[in-house]
Structure 1
């Protein structure tokens, strides 16, 4: 099994979106003297946003637009009429300030010493640039579905990423904590690695915690991913 590049899903797999978004809601709630179950609200917000972007073909909007627009429904559903347009903007901007999972940065540097590493994501380019700079993450490239025009799990997204990298799908290892992403990548010929993120949804268990047995690797953390990837390197290239 030959690997020539490693592609990472970014929202959820690399970034702790739940904590960042929950805390943004909580901070604004405190400023208005409003108490809610902010973790549950953050999760519903995420669900609605994902429903609005997954599988989109040539949309006139990106994930930033969705993150802003969906808040109208969240505010109405949870009785948050006290939240202003500026509050809405601040919550949407919280996505650009997310922290990466603590086990990611060091293994990524180690993996990058062996292979090119790319963020392959439904998130907008500007968001990935912001969070990467904030967390000290260096990619060889960022491939956003925003630029491709087709959003995962549309096969055209995976095949275009492979074309842009100039690498056969079978030579790319796709890394994610979501089976829908990995199943679609594998159907396009990619190798796949499921990395568990049990705390992705914070106060709730992840909706998709069990890796498809067809994955090439199923791992508990990114250090395990580095070990698995390193095992595939030809001895003469180490």
Structure 2
């Protein structure tokens, strides 16, 4: 008999990081490039696009840019890297379509089944820096069964700003300890933990592709360590 984790009855809401945790951004962007621009190194392109993510958000957090949706930051980054890959001639329609690739990211193989199991017992919501339109279209296409779509856009603050983590607890009128952040990134989990949330790490060794395997060693600071969302569901008694 499988014994559920001690936290199985201690949390009500599971809030999920999305990019890399629930969906495979690297593999999805590589597939998009293979269809649209097969001559381009999709692995390098995907990693270059993602590498611009934190610096772009830092421009907003520093006040250099006003509040900016992730769709718009993705477009700024995209326009900046296109010349590096010989794609500066792409017209506006092609650029817009490519930028929307982030709306079409595929889930990890076990993600949807794991979420469906977890939903039987817990409230599930996204907690992503992605904007509401992006997250909603992604969920619709991929079949992600959220009870609620929450985003940095709702709180007008990017993770790891405390307003995001505490905002989830406020939305559901819960103490922070009744909310668990599920993520494949230790910095995100540390931010949540500092706000009193519970934390579950998800192993995603191939987040950056098979050529750049990520260290997914367990860290004792997290409440839970899982190999995927099906594993999380099992540990939480679903």
Compute the TM-score of the two structures, normalised by the length of structure 1: 0.88
- Pair 1:183 & 2:190 matched: yes
Give the equivalent residue in structure 1 for 2:95: 88
Report the Cα offset of residue 22 of structure 1. Answer: 1.7
Please identify, of 177-186 and 82-91, the stretch whose mean Cα deviation from structure 2 is larger.
Answer: 82-91
Q: Which sections of structure 1, spanning at least 5 residues, go unmatched?
A: 232-238
RMSD after superposition? 1.9
Residues 47-75 of structure 1, C-alpha deviations (whole Å, 9 max, x = no match): 10232126954843110001111111111
Report the Cα offset of residue 142 of structure 1. Answer: 1.0
Give the equivalent residue in structure 1 for 2:119: 112
Give the equivalent residue in structure 1 for 2:24: 16
- Pair 1:28 & 2:7 matched: no
Compute the TM-score of the two structures, normalised by the length of structure 2: 0.88
Q: Which sections of structure 2, spanning at least 5 residues, go unmatched?
A: 1-6
Does the Cα contact within 8 Å between 1:54 and 1:153 map onto a contact in 2?
Answer: no
Give the equivalent residue in structure 2 for 1:45: 49
Give the equivalent residue in structure 2 for 1:173: 180
Give the equivalent residue in structure 2 for 1:141: 148
Give the equivalent residue in structure 2 for 1:235: none
Return the alpha-carbon distance in structure 1 between the equivalents of residues 218 and 57 of structure 2.
Answer: 23
Corresponding residue to 1:4 among 12, 16, 21: 12
Return the alpha-carbon distance in structure 2 between the equivalents of residues 55 and 174 of structure 1.
Answer: 25
Return the alpha-carbon distance in structure 1 between the equivalents of residues 212 and 171 of structure 2.
Answer: 36
Does the Cα contact within 8 Å between 2:60 and 2:68 map onto a contact in 1?
Answer: no
Give the equivalent residue in structure 1 for 2:107: 100
Report the Cα offset of residue 43 of structure 1. Answer: 0.8
Q: How many residues align?
A: 227
Return the alpha-carbon distance in structure 2 between the equivalents of residues 64 and 202 of structure 1.
Answer: 23
Return the alpha-carbon distance in structure 2 between the equivalents of residues 89 and 22 of structure 1.
Answer: 17
Report the Cα offset of residue 213 of structure 1. Answer: 1.9
